[in-house]
Chains A and B, each alone.
Chain A
Amino acid sequence: MIARSLLQLLVIIVLAPLLQGAMKLLRARLQGRPGSSALQPYRDLAKLCRKESILPDGVSPIAVAAPGIALGVALTFAGALPIAVPGIPPLGEIVALVLLLALSRFTLGLAALDSRSTFAGMAASREQTVASLVEPTLLLALLGAATLGRGTQLSSLLHLPFGLAGLLALGAFFLVILAETARVPIDNQETHYELTMIHEGLSLEFSGWQLAFVQAASYVRQLSFLLLAGLLLPGGTVWTVAAWAVVLAMAIAVVETLFAKMRLFEIPQLLASAFVLAAASIMLRLLGATL
């Protein structure tokens, strides 16, 4: 079992940059641009690892260690998914994972404020704002199985009856993914204008291998979130989950092409509607047994 979960982790690590590249390529094609190769993220990571890393004067060890913590959190998240194995019991617990994700945001936010840069501070503020609004939705969207008394392990999501409640939860979770993986209309990964950055702004002062850590963490997180969405969809085998993840990744590329980035203060409305979807889904399940 340990071997299989390690294998799962390894596959996610290896494929995460490819997914990022493929999404970027698809988005470019949809927008009528040739785009860069789907393998570009691997080259970027390799290049960053060879480059020197620099940090602002006088920063604390928190800023030195933050990229490692972010990557460690992302890897724990990826390893805890019940895909190749039925889930490692203590790790695959929904509430614990949601609280763990806060750890990486917390340290990256501190590192950003430590860097003394206005833009990084701004990004930290916005990331925390979006994250605090997303957290209730993220939790409720994943608690569908708990309402049926099946506990709060991620593996309990497998073989959950889908139906209307499942559809609503998926809708909510899709919006959560857009927020958590820094996608249009909530954020824009490819902006070159610091004032509009949320997630990218956090890593402005990182470079070299430190930046490679932060980016790898983002890629792994992204793939993990998509796989988690695959668990919410019907199927439940390794291949269906992976297929759903690819379908959702393509959907995100389409959404990024169709919509423009929202103004910062319109985002809460979008996240509020995501919360309403998640709450409606879980209320359907909660009352389904008694009504």
Chain B
Amino acid sequence: MTLRSFGVGATWAVSLVAAYLAFVAIEHGPATLASISAVLPALAFDVGVTPLAAPFLALLAILGAAVGAWCLRCDRPVDAALIAGFVATMLLVLVARSVFAFVLAWEMMSLVSAFLVAANHGRRSVRRATFVYLAVAQSGALCILVALLLLANHASGATFSDIAKSAASIPAGTRTAVFLLALIGFGSKAGLLPLHFWLPRAHPVAPPGASALLSGAMLKVALYGLCVIAFELAAPAPAAWGIVLVVLGTISAIGGVLYALVDHDLKRLLAYHSVENVGIITIGIGVALLARSSGAMALAALALIAALFHAINHGLFKSLLFMGAGIVAKTQGTVDLERLGGLWGRLKWTAPFFLIGCAAIVALPPLNGFVSEWLTFQGLIGGFALSDPTTRLVLLGATAGLALTGGLAAACFVKVFGVAFLGRSRRPEKSHSSETEQERFDGATFAQAVLAACCVVFGLVPALAVVSLARVAAATLGAPMIAGVTASPLASLPVLPIALIALPAAGALACLVLAARLGLRRVPTWTCGSPVTPAAQYTATAFSKPLRMIFAFILQPEHRRLVESGPSPWFPARIVYHIESHDVIDEGARWLGALALRAARRSRALQSGSLRLYLAYAVAALVLVVALARR
């Protein structure tokens, strides 16, 4: 058995387990799978499923199946094996039911994914990205550990069920500290602004299958952690948490899409869109917390359904898009939008799948992104009826922000698909010779087909997912099946996507039929009489220019124009135009990083290399622990 087939088989096996556990959690409610507390009560190792984990387990099952198929053809064999480990550790995080088990699984997940990020470690930028990723992941893990220990310290034991039992009596100060630590720990892993800076570096450099899982699944696992804290371990959450999450979510959504808009590296652009979508999911979680704290259980359920559904959907279409980008990188040798073009004819499988992914992420009906974004809007608007005026204004701002995000995302993906896949290739003609052969249908294409089919099916028949999610929401919010959930606006959901798309689909069909009947004459594009060249096409830089200028106060674009003069000053030999946008957060992160490195350099004095000194440290630590424990 080769390493590759072992990796694929293991990935599929883990997916099957995840699917089974998701089914169990939804059908039979919470269940404990294993409970080992032999050594110390503090090191209790509990494993079980809860309804809240079920949607994430289901997502992991689908993505695991797809990425497994992807690994049959693409990525190195060792990556396939690492991916199996990555999926397994994510599964472990989702079923961990005690502090020890969760932190252990979480650290394993971070480490395995760091190996995947470092796959192409020959490049300096990759090593740098891995370092930044590990630094953020470890700082975040520390925050999570402290938050969980604070909770366990208050409760009678270190299992999640113990913590949840005494959650109601947590003092307000501890509760706030737990929330802030969890927000930093899980928020940085999920890529919420302003702790997103590692994400656009780390996700693009991993192999495509791993990028798909990093963006599609791991960010959701982080959001799952946030949900566990907010809805179970530190429940009931005060309204302020909801407001913080809605505000952070809105900022992440707008910030993510703006940076994506000006980025022309296809993979980095997709990574920025993950920041955007994590923001949208966070808005949903925030609204659910807000509604729950003011007793509007039906609204809380609606918002939680929206958040969970968007988490699943984003996992589906983002993995699909990362796989498409992987195929583009493999066949074209670049993911720079300015050097692509005309891929529609050459990637006959990837191109339509990528189009479905683009339409889904832009929330166009009748795809899955539309349904969950629509539900998020409904949650926000339903919140207008909450009694607190501040809450209402925050939700109003988030509604406007989400609408702006939608518009900007549409602009961004018109750019991506229009420039990269449509039109004509922007590369010199001679480099085309090797690509005349058509794309074949293989494991990689099958993986995309599965994900694209899920996007379409969850869009056209949202009830498939929403019915189960309603049960999850009801169980998580601690209410028996809530009557309001089945009332509006969920009531119109089964017919809405089909009703919206019926006439446009008929129109599209009519056009295709008319074109076949009447015939469409093909002529060269009219370019005012000048020769038709690929250079006449609008570029990605030009396409995003109006929005780049309008939002210059955030994006701070930096232009460099290099003119090589020719024989006459009026006819330069060559003009090089370079534009770069600086992520303002990056500057802050760099400053923090420099500070941390300086502190590390100072603390090097402790490391003398002398064995006796180390033994003295160990003894001192032991004495300190005993002294603290006896107090």
List chain A positions with a Cβ less than 8 A from chain B. Answer: 52-62, 64-73, 75-76, 79, 88-91, 93, 95-96, 98-100, 102-106, 109-110, 112-118, 120-122, 124-126, 128-129, 131-136, 138-140, 143, 146-147, 149, 151-152, 204-205, 209-210, 213, 264-265, 268, 275, 279, 282-283, 286-287, 290-291
Task: Write out the residue numbers on chain A whose beta carbons fall within 8 Å of the beta carbon of B364.
Answer: 99, 102-103, 106
Q: Is the CB of B373 closer than 8 A to any CB of chain A?
A: yes
**Roughly how many angstroms separate A114 CA and B351 CA in the complex, as a whole number?**
13
Task: Write out the residue numbers on chain A whose beta carbons fall within 8 Å of the beta carbon of B387.
Answer: 290
Task: Write out the residue numbers on chain B whose beta carbons fall within 8 Å of the beta carbon of A61.
Answer: 512
Chain B: minimal CB distance from A221 (Å): 13
Q: Is the CB of B496 closer than 8 A to any CB of chain A?
A: yes
Contact of B423 among A89, A113, A126 (CB under 8 A): A113
**Is the beta-carbon distance between A121 and B537 smaller than 8 angstroms?**
yes
**Is the beta-carbon distance between A117 and B404 smaller than 8 angstroms?**
no
Task: Write out the residue numbers on chain B whose beta carbons fall within 8 Å of the beta carbon of A205.
Answer: 525-526
Task: Write out the residue numbers on chain B whose beta carbons fall within 8 Å of the beta carbon of A62.
Answer: 355, 422
**Roughly how many angstroms separate A80 CA and B408 CA in the complex, as a whole number?**
26
Task: Write out the residue numbers on chain A whose beta carbons fall within 8 Å of the beta carbon of B399.
Answer: 136, 139-140, 143
Chain B residue at smallest Cβ distance from A291: B389
Considering the complex of A and B, which 6 residue pairs feature the smallest CB-CB distances, nearest first? A121-B538, A132-B407, A113-B418, A68-B507, A72-B507, A72-B504
Chain B: minimal CB distance from A288 (Å): 11
Interface of B is mostly: helix
Task: Write out the residue numbers on chain B whose beta carbons fall within 8 Å of the beta carbon of A68.
Answer: 504, 506-512
Q: Which of B88-113 contact A (CB under 8 A)?
A: none
**Is the beta-carbon distance between B365 and A287 smaller than 8 angstroms?**
no
Chain B: minimal CB distance from A125 (Å): 4
**Is the beta-carbon distance between B522 and A58 smaller than 8 angstroms?**
yes
Chain B residue at smallest Cβ distance from A62: B422
A-B contact pairs, 11 of them (CB 8 A): A52-B521, A55-B521, A70-B507, A90-B495, A99-B373, A114-B418, A136-B400, A136-B401, A139-B403, A149-B385, A290-B389
Contact of B546 among A71, A109, A125, A210 (CB under 8 A): A125
**Roughly how many angstroms separate A11 CA and B155 CA in the complex, as a whole number?**
68
Q: Which of B176-184, B216-224, B374-382, B607-615 contacts A (4 or more CB under 8 A)?
A: B374-382
Q: A60-B344, A279-B400 are in contact. Are A54 and B522 (CB under 8 A)?
A: yes
Task: Write out the residue numbers on chain B whose beta carbons fall within 8 Å of the beta carbon of A132.
Answer: 404, 406-408, 410-411, 547
Task: Write out the residue numbers on chain A whose beta carbons fall within 8 Å of the beta carbon of B515.
Answer: 53, 64
Chain A residue at smallest Cβ distance from B420: A113
Task: Write out the residue numbers on chain B whose beta carbons fall within 8 Å of the beta carbon of A52.
Answer: 518-519, 521
**Is the beta-carbon distance between A75 and B503 smaller than 8 angstroms?**
yes
**Is the beta-carbon distance between B522 and A117 smaller than 8 angstroms?**
no
Chain A residue at smallest Cβ distance from B515: A64
Chain A: minimal CB distance from B415 (Å): 8
**Roughly how many angstroms separate A209 CA and B514 CA in the complex, as a whole number?**
9
Chain B: minimal CB distance from A158 (Å): 17
Chain A residue at smallest Cβ distance from B524: A57
Task: Write out the residue numbers on chain B whose beta carbons fall within 8 Å of the beta carbon of A106.
Answer: 359, 362, 364, 410, 413-414
Task: Write out the residue numbers on chain B whose beta carbons fall within 8 Å of the beta carbon of A103.
Answer: 364-365, 504
Contact of B365 among A59, A96, A204 (CB under 8 A): A96
Task: Write out the residue numbers on chain A whose beta carbons fall within 8 Å of the beta carbon of B355.
Answer: 62
Chain B: minimal CB distance from A168 (Å): 14
**Is the beta-carbon distance between A118 and B496 smaller than 8 angstroms?**
no
**Is the beta-carbon distance between A57 and B411 smaller than 8 angstroms?**
no
Chain A: minimal CB distance from B542 (Å): 7
Chain B: minimal CB distance from A212 (Å): 11
Q: Is the CB of B536 closer than 8 A to any CB of chain A?
A: yes
Q: A58-B345, A106-B359 are in contact. Are A286 and B508 (CB under 8 A)?
A: no
Chain A residue at smallest Cβ distance from B257: A132
**Is the beta-carbon distance between A152 and B378 smaller than 8 angstroms?**
yes
A sample of 19 more A-B contacts (CB under 8 A), given A69-B511, A149-B384, A290-B387, is A52-B518, A54-B523, A55-B523, A58-B345, A60-B345, A72-B508, A96-B374, A99-B364, A106-B364, A118-B536, A125-B415, A125-B543, A125-B546, A128-B415, A132-B410, A143-B381, A146-B384, A152-B378, A213-B507
**Roughly how many angstroms separate A264 CA and B489 CA in the complex, as a whole number?**
39
Chain A: minimal CB distance from B567 (Å): 27
Q: A57-B525, A72-B503, A121-B537 are in contact. Are A114 and B511 (CB under 8 A)?
A: no
**Roughly how many angstroms separate A252 CA and B601 CA in the complex, as a whole number?**
69
Chain A residue at smallest Cβ distance from B369: A99
Chain B: minimal CB distance from A190 (Å): 20
**Is the beta-carbon distance between B492 and A210 smaller than 8 angstroms?**
no
Q: A58-B345, A103-B364, A113-B422 are in contact. Are A64 and B417 (CB under 8 A)?
A: no
Chain B residue at smallest Cβ distance from A146: B381
Q: Is the CB of B393 closer than 8 A to any CB of chain A?
A: yes
Task: Write out the residue numbers on chain B whose beta carbons fall within 8 Å of the beta carbon of A71.
Answer: 507
Contact of A133 among B345, B542, B550 (CB under 8 A): B550
Chain B residue at smallest Cβ distance from A91: B499
